[in-house]
Structures are given as structure tokens and as C-alpha cells.
């Protein structure tokens, strides 16, 4: 009868499932997630995201300006009607009322479509960006405020290289650009020191 050697299991300290403690000199910094992004794509995406956000803002400004013009025409019709005499003013006022009504009806019908068209272009930029999706997914999983992760935060990270994601929990995204072939992103959390 042969004896089988007993398996020795080394006891390893339990680490967080999605994080690891840094070296002691890091003074209580917990790495929640770490991944790399493509620098060349990130540089191009900065312009695409900014252009997409500018297009959305421009559409909103145009809609607001059109509503202001319609309101001015509608309000200006009343003094024109009251301060003028003659039958021709009835025709002008009636024409203005019909034009304002048609413009408001058209705007109410097409405003969602105009907003959606510009927002769809920005959505395409988001979904075609592997870098953006990596950062978004890491932030969504690691912190309890996923709504903060949008194109503004992504652009801030690329520009500032450090973004506070959740001030209450001390969660920060850090961008390391020392390696120009692959930028490293770390989602870290500062653990409070024991008193």
C-alpha cells in the first residue's frame, strides 16, 4: 500500500476580490481596478467628444432662440393690433397668429427629433470608444454614483490625469501617461488610517 504525499496549502491573506493593497509606503491606498487605454485613440476621441457635445449644446441653443423669436413675435402682435387702425391690421394680425401657431406646432413636433439626432451622434462616439467603455464600466462597478461617468468626466481624466469620482469614499481615477504605448488607468480608494 503506497502512501500519497499530503498536499500543503499555504495560507495567503484574503485580498479584496477586485482590488489589491499597494505597498506599505502607499499609506492605505486600495486599487479597485486597473486597466490600460490606447493613447492614440484617446487623443482622437478628445476632439470627437468635444465636437459631439458642442453639437448637442448648439442644437439646444438654436431651439431656445427659436422659441424666444416666436414669443417676441406673438407678444409684439398685440400692441401692433391695438395701436393701429384700419382693416389691413386685422389681416396682418391674423397672419401673425397663424404663423406663430404653425411655428409652435412644428417646433413641438420636431424638437424631440432634433435633440435626438445630435444626442445620437454623441452616443455613437461613446459606444465606438473602447477607452470610454473601459473607464465607464470600471466606474460603474466600483462606485455608487455611475451617473457621474459621462463624457465630461472622461475628458477631465484625459486632461487632468486625476479625477475625484466619489469624494465621500475618497475614490479617485488616476491616469498614468509615462508609457506612451499604453496609458494606465487606476481606480483607487484612500482608506482612512486607524486611530
Distance CA 68, CA 73 (A): 9
Band (pLDDT 50/70/90 cuts) for residue 155 is: confident
Edge-to-edge, what's the strand order for the sheet holding 29-37? 20-21, 29-37, 183-190, 171-176, 162-166
> What's the mean pLDDT in 127-136?
85
pLDDT at 44: 85
Percent of the chain, pLDDT > 70?
A: 78
pLDDT at 24: 45
Three-class SS state of 30:
strand
pLDDT at 192: 66
CA 132 to chain centre: 10
Band (pLDDT 50/70/90 cuts) for residue 17 is: very low
More confident residue, 20 or 69: 69
pLDDT at 15: 41
Band (pLDDT 50/70/90 cuts) for residue 131 is: confident
pLDDT at 149: 62
Q: 43-52, 143-152, 182-191: which has the minimum mean pLDDT? A: 143-152
CB 138 within 8 A of CB 33: yes
CB 164 within 8 A of CB 180: no
CB 171 within 8 A of CB 73: no
pLDDT averaged over every residue in the chain:
76
Q: 23-27, 40-44, 64-68, 107-111: which has the minimum mean pLDDT? A: 23-27
Amino acid at each position: 500500500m503506497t502512501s500519497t504525499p499530503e498536499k500543503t496549502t499555504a495560507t495567503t491573506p484574503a485580498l479584496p476580490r477586485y482590488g489589491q493593497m499597494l505597498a506599505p509606503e502607499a499609506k492605505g491606498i486600495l486599487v479597485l481596478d486597473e486597466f490600460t487605454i490606447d493613447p492614440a485613440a484617446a487623443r482622437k476621441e478628445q476632439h470627437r467628444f468635444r465636437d459631439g457635445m458642442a453639437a448637442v449644446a448648439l442644437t439646444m441653443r438654436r431651439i431656445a432662440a427659436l422659441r424666444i423669436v416666436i414669443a417676441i413675435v406673438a407678444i409684439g402682435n398685440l400692441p401692433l393690433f391695438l395701436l393701429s387702425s384700419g382693416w389691413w391690421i386685422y389681416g396682418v394680425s391674423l397672419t401673425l397668429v397663424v404663423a406663430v401657431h404653425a411655428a409652435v406646432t412644428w417646433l413641438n413636433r420636431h424638437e424631440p427629433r432634433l435633440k435626438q439626432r445630435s444626442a445620437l451622434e454623441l452616443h455613437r462616439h461613446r459606444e465606438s470608444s473602447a477607452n470610454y467603455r473601459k473607464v465607464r464600466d470600471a466606474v460603474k462597478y466600483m462606485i455608487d454614483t455611475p451617473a457621474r461617468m459621462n463624457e465630461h468626466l472622461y475628458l477631465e481624466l484625459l486632461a487632468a490625469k486625476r479625477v475625484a469620482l466619489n469624494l465621500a469614499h475618497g475614490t479617485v481615477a488616476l491616469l498614468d501617461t509615462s508609457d506612451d504605448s499604453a496609458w494606465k488607468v487606476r481606480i483607487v480608494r484612500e482608506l482612512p488610517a486607524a486611530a
